[in-house]
Amino acid sequence: MTRRLTVLMGALALAACGQGDSAPAQGDAAAPPAAPSPASAPAPAPTDAEAVAVLASLPAPYNAADLQNGERVFARCRSCHTINEGGPNRVGPNLWQVFGRTAGTHGTYNYSPALREAGFTWDAAKLDEWLNNPREFLPGNKMSFAGVRDADDRRDLIAWLKVNTGYAPEA
């Protein structure tokens, strides 16, 4: 935990000093003009400072998550889900702003009756239960994914999703 805190503080310090992986300054002759991105393009990753701020705002145990591991764990989900704002549904629904959304209600995605009738709102605790074993959590859903059995991997994935899907911490 101390190592993670040190890494997070270092990332925050680098971002504050302008020494992180930032884009060239506006008007920099070496910087090509930004091209518009289609809605299906991957969401731009938050800056290190933004990621650190969101991570620090999360309640325990998510505030101690390893975001790099969360991204690696999400690789298992990427073939079925997109995470960017306005991104398309695939085999599974787009996950932009999943936290706070009522289960089974994203746009035009064709949910199973089990999810349409579930009657709960996605939060970290519900997503943790779902990711552990989707079939047992909500029998009758159509997700064929076996689940993420390791608790640390689920914690890291949930924190990574909060950082990368438009989650806004409460003031």
pLDDT digit string (tens) for 91-148? Answer: 999 999 999 999 999 988 999 999 999 999 999 999 999 999 999 999 999 999 999 9
- The yes-or-no verdict on residue 14 having pLDDT over 60 is no
Q: Evaluate whether residue 88 is within a structural domain.
A: yes
- Span 46-66, average pLDDT: 93
CA–CA distance, 169 with 62 (Å, rounded to integer): 13
Number of domains in the chain: 1
- Residue 127 in any domain: the answer is yes
CATH code of the domain covering residue 139: 1.10.760.10
What does the alpha-carbon distance between residue 52 and residue 55 come to, in Å, rounded to a whole number?
5
Distance, in Å, from the CA atom of 159 to the CA atom of 61, rounded to the nearest integer, reads 9
Identify whether 158 is part of a domain.
yes
Looking at residue 170, its pLDDT comes to 72
What is the domain extent for residue 159? 66-164
Q: Phi/psi of residue 141, each to 5°?
A: -75, 160
Whole-model pTM: value is 0.74
